[in-house]
Amino acid sequence: MDQDTAGRPVDLAGETDRATFGAGCFWCVEAVLQRFEGVLEVVSGYMGGAVADPTYEHVCTGTSGHAEVVQVCFDRTVRDYATLLDAFWRLHDPTTLNRQGNDCGTQYRSVIFYHDETQRVAAEQSLVVADKSILYRDPIVTEISPASTFYPAEGYHQDYYRRHRDEPYCRFVIAPKLGKMGEGP
């Protein structure tokens, strides 16, 4: 049997779905979404590029075309896709092209990779709502694209915040995002 992000046993064959988001550094997105009730698993990885089996080093060059993403497995009976989309818009700045804070390059682009037509429609509708909201002064530049092959990132990237919360990046970049989302470190 599989385990959720807190190590509890969970049956992934039930009412589960997956979502894939790129919102800058995958460590930040992973740390926030892991804390949501109904989220069973969050895996950091790469999607959207043309190179098979990319490495972190290759993705960081910006030449592979991949974005740093998280793939989220969630229980639809507890957490719906619309709630995850809402979190996506709030946890990063979707108005900056290929940049989040000090992280710049195409690998840090804002992107929603949809897995079916229902997700595509929901993502496009949420973009319209977010773009009309008062949250952002500048236009949203988030890409909405069909999901392609997901490549899990190397093991040392997984569960990064939980394993390294005292490191400066975690304290000064990730912890404030958790606070912004209503979750303490």
As annotated, the active-site residues are: 25
Q: Which amino acid is it at 40?
A: L
CA distance 99 to 87: 18
Q: Which residue has the tokens 């909405």?
A: 144
User: Do the beta carbons of residue 15 and residue 75 sit within 8 Å?
Assistant: yes
What is each CA distance from 52 to 45, 75, 142, 170, in whole angstroms? 13, 29, 24, 30
Residues 6 or more apart whose CB falls under 8 angstroms from that of 44 comprise 26, 27, 29, 30, 68, 69, 70, 152, 153, 157, 158, 160
The DSSP letter of residue 153 is P
